[in-house]
Amino acid sequence: MNSFITRENDYAIRICAYLAGNYDRGPIPLSEISRKLFITRAFAHKIVHRLKHNKIIETVQGKHGGIYLKKHPARLSIYDILRAMGFNSTMNECVVKPQVCPLVTGCKIHLFFMDLEEYLLSQLKARKIIEFSITDEVLSLG
């Protein structure tokens, strides 16, 4: 079964949630983040590269370097993070391409998927990463 949210997208959200939970610390080394979130360093590096390219995070080189969120976590939505990672899913192809189905007009299934997608996207846009902050304290409870 294919996931609507890929593992890479999930990890991107988790990395941003950790940065949100440690927002006042400044740059955090990628090695620390990958260790604490159980993400291989190579995979974390790939995700960070995409997040940086799409202006979600910034990096600082050097001894006291690391990564940090470019936006305050109260202004960064889950949708922003997913879009930066290339998220471009839809509930059903007929929602974005009505011409693929001759039954779209008056079709209750089409209307259901349209409503569902609208609700999901509104929730992804409304929910901010600060709501999902991950701190070291939270990690130690697990």
According to DSSP, the residues that pair with 60 across neighbouring strands are 66
Distance CA 34, CA 51 (A): 15
Q: Which residue is listed with tokens 């006042």?
A: 24
Domains and CATH numbers, the chain: 7-136 (1.10.10.10)
Name the residue among 15, 78, 74 with its Cα closest to residue 49: 15
pLDDT digits 0-9 by tens, 62-101: 888 999 999 999 999 999 999 999 988 776 666 666 666 6
Q: Phi, psi (5° rounding) for residue 76?
A: -105, 115
pTM, rounded to two decimals: 0.88
Give the pLDDT of residue 99. 67
Distance CA 98, CA 101 (A): 6
Please say whether the beta carbons of 78 and 13 come within 8 A: yes
pLDDT range class, residue 115, cuts 50, 70, 90: confident
